[in-house]
Structure 1
């Protein structure tokens, strides 16, 4: 984490001007000094309670003793310290016990925890769960469940996937039936009985908090008494592990939610990942069959409500992927500075009597380090930009808020998927820099790679994000969001082209923007979704590279005209690497998009 703090401060203050948020009424009690104090606390907790135990939680996985899930003591202490920091409610109103911090600062501070140990984790799901209830829950649901999540007394999950359905939510089989004739009279919301199985539930069972609040998607009967097919029949329910009264106090009754098993994953091994059975009679409750749940929002609008949490989680996963990439970069940079091996290219290097040089002096090692830096710091800038858009959406003028909404619609698939792919590649390069040592558990980089590999699947696979980007986001509202993003990119190009040292980058970015625009039109030229989306992933890769190149160019505009400090030189060089080595990849990705290449879509199954 040695260079993380200065990088964050440059991006927050020199580039995004986060201190200007204090001019808004909601953040008027804050200053750059209070933001710094929050960062100090988070950095210290991450350094003392997270980083030293990252390997421990990887090797001592959660285990179930038949009654409870056992986690290392270090996890309990780290969680307690995180809760004590107040970060679960950092962005919430003072009346809720929050700090009314800008989300931009909350997101930046969260990188300390994810860089130190993403496997121990922070409050991603709990915060997202509570935020969803604040947006769609009843006043009492907000008071009983969300408030207790923000305080750390309760934790939260999201329960979407099922063993037979995976990401295909229209095929979920979990059912919810009204709990008696008075089901609508329950003060906590219309009361239902749920039966079904949910898979891949992170933090689905533990004893880190008094209670676990599950947000569960399930289908309710239609007017004919039968489940409504597709996603129209999906509703959302808040299903607590332990039942509570209207004051949020535990009643002493266990809800009918049973741990069916722990999933043992490649990475994120310190986080419990579960298969949960709802309403199968393991803990019969209140004389009825099924787990008790309370409807959130309107019947049939569960998926719309859940997207509030899913989109927030997607940005969080992008930040987790970025943080893991940064951790690997720092580890490999330190190793390269100290590992002697080989001699310089040329006549002097042929003399075996000459001492070996450190591997950072080799051009190819510098290439791998520059690639990592350009990927990870570029991704960090993009994620903080998205966080800044969230603040704009909530506290900006009506026009600025609507623009922020549109930009977030287009950028969210990229903010989740691009770091998940290319910061993972950064972790792979970190292993390569270490050579054979990188493949061993004597060094941390192999764990960073394993932890990061999950993020291409977390919160919607790569293919889902690509289909969302090309199939929905760039064409929604008549392409308004894409046009707005293009206008922002062109504004950066116009500013940069006035500076001789940036003109080459500006011209290259302009050409890339034209190619992405043309490819978008070509993909939809036949208005055939199957043809357009057959190459959605290459489109997303090209689109992501365009966005990261734009981000880097905009970051360079925040540097002084005369670069003097090493950190400034490092940003200039990393951006140059991205423009010279990465941006030229865009035409190759877009070629199959423009031609609606059918190679993959028409491959016969038996030809495999």
Structure 2
């Protein structure tokens, strides 16, 4: 059985029916594009994925990078695969033409690179993190820095990373200790250690450009005293040629349960005289700048999780259609032929759950990509500000919901294959291991839940919260125009009322009770809000599906749309009602975990 990486019809549905990306060609930035060029970009992504990444997928998983104390080694097939991505323009598809990009809308770029991610997993991190690194420097760096560092990264000669996490600080940025001392020439000398740096060392490119968070001597304590620096692996001369090796060294590699195509590194800065670094923007504003890359990376993580769930679903679906085993309970003849396992109701349950999780999650990620575009290219300032506010509010959910439910979908894919699911002759067990990393990348579920409830909800008089609710209500009004969707519109209205009650109760508790108690179950609030947001995404898909269904007599198309509507029905009837139990737990400030004493474990 050879399953496709992703379903091409799904991708066309999301781009042209749910999000109507053709209307983006009316914007000046995209006036050179049309539906054909968008489809060509997606097709290019699929072809590069199938030619360069799919054939080496298992080899990448079974041959992790190694470090002999001098250099990093990895299977040789990775380098030409990464070079193919760079040569195709898919390393930075939404970048400006004059920076080597295709100037695609981010939502189309997401679809084009989804095939690469599905086939290559974290191996694509070498290019995607480089792209995010470039985006940050272009937004906050100087013209000289853009010319010196971004141009060679866009060309694929240099790679880029983000170096934040420290051994003793973890997710607590306020506790980082990497230091920076200003030199007479205006550069800085960086000293400290960073861990879990994806793509932190390799020999795929001429140079690696690290974006490093550090604290200038005398800076305020906490996050207010953090600055951001460009710290290259190899120094670059004024004429653009490579100079001497910087004081940046690989201390060791981490070997992860999945995502083995990309190195995960412990880096040491300044073992001798200090690594040369160049300040980005102003001192003590580094974390604000880094959030540009962090938020992009969070959307990237959520998208990776959704895509990995999609490809696992596609594989298990095709397997279930071809694998004969057992008979239905209604069959009384032991001599009758076994049925393909997709005929068994519980297998269909597992497939439908995967479809609901994966397609709902990816729709949310595409919506986030569209908002990231709207905040820069929408017609009016008011529209741009509205998009920024909504994207900022949704980012914890875009990162967290796919990375929590994506592995659940992959676990179900393993279960569909039964005994064949947990052997590496089939890739679904690898998909699960790869996807399990995403729940930790760029902030855990707990970190994101605290960001949502303690910061994103109350900030600016709940402006982000209110913008999100208003956007959901607008979709509800559209859905009411379709008789078949009215019942789901009413369910979502009831869910919003529950959300409001729960949110008001928790915000009051945060004022009246110990803050740690009020936030003790913040993960359940994130999950509650996330389920409502995914229901919203399914209602968006439902509107497009019902519209398509009403307009066609072609049976294959009708089946496609009916499948979307059935997944919507499943999510609203099976998954969404869980929010009522979570709300009850939250509103009574259930404190079992909070009250648990360390000595009782």
**Structure 1 stretches of 4+ moved >6 Å:** none
Match of residue 553 from structure 1: 539
8 Å Cα contact 2:5/2:115 also seen in 1: no
Match of residue 590 from structure 2: 597
SS at structure 1 position matched to 2:160: strand
Measure how far apart 1:2 and its partner are: 5.6
Counterpart among 460, 463, 468 of residue 446 in structure 2: 463
Q: Does the alignment pair 1:65 with 2:68?
A: yes
Measure how far apart 1:602 and its partner are: 2.0
Once residues 114 and 246 of structure 2 are traced to their aligned partners in structure 1, the CA distance between those partners, rounded to angstroms, is 35
8 Å Cα contact 1:58/1:119 also seen in 2: no
Measure how far apart 1:25 and its partner are: 0.8
Tell me whether 527-536 or 46-55 shows the greater mean CA deviation: 527-536
What is the Cα-based RMSD across aligned positions, in Å? 1.3
8 Å Cα contact 1:221/1:233 also seen in 2: no
Tell me whether 137-146 or 586-595 shows the greater mean CA deviation: 586-595
8 Å Cα contact 1:523/1:531 also seen in 2: no
Match of residue 412 from structure 2: 429
Measure how far apart 1:598 and its partner are: 2.1
Once residues 436 and 98 of structure 2 are traced to their aligned partners in structure 1, the CA distance between those partners, rounded to angstroms, is 39
Once residues 36 and 569 of structure 1 are traced to their aligned partners in structure 2, the CA distance between those partners, rounded to angstroms, is 24
1:408-438 Cα offsets, whole Å, 9 max, x none, are 0111100000000111100000011111111
Counterpart among 167, 173, 179 of residue 163 in structure 1: 167
Once residues 356 and 366 of structure 2 are traced to their aligned partners in structure 1, the CA distance between those partners, rounded to angstroms, is 15
1:111-190 → structure 2 map (5 Å cutoff): 111-122=114-125, 123-179=127-183, 182-184=184-186
1:77-476 → structure 2 map (5 Å cutoff): 77-122=80-125, 123-179=127-183, 182-184=184-186, 191-222=187-218, 228-251=220-243, 253-281=244-272, 289-346=273-330, 349-396=331-378, 397-476=380-459
1:548-592 Cα offsets, whole Å, 9 max, x none, are 001111111112253752211110111111011101111111222
SS at structure 1 position matched to 2:250: strand
Structure 2 residue ranges without an equivalent (≥5): none
- Tell me the TM-score normalised to structure 2 length: 0.96
8 Å Cα contact 1:27/1:102 also seen in 2: yes
Structure 1 residue ranges without an equivalent (≥5): 185-190, 282-288
Counterpart among 509, 513, 519 of residue 502 in structure 2: 519
Once residues 319 and 157 of structure 2 are traced to their aligned partners in structure 1, the CA distance between those partners, rounded to angstroms, is 41
Match of residue 38 from structure 1: 41
Once residues 77 and 3 of structure 1 are traced to their aligned partners in structure 2, the CA distance between those partners, rounded to angstroms, is 23
1:322-374 Cα offsets, whole Å, 9 max, x none, are 1110111011111111111111112xx23211111111000000000000001
Q: Does the alignment pair 1:7 with 2:10?
A: yes
Once residues 153 and 275 of structure 1 are traced to their aligned partners in structure 2, the CA distance between those partners, rounded to angstroms, is 23
1:225-277 Cα offsets, whole Å, 9 max, x none, are xx5321111111100000002343212x0001111100011011111100001
8 Å Cα contact 2:6/2:118 also seen in 1: no
1:504-515 → structure 2 map (5 Å cutoff): 504-515=487-498
Measure how far apart 1:146 and its partner are: 1.3
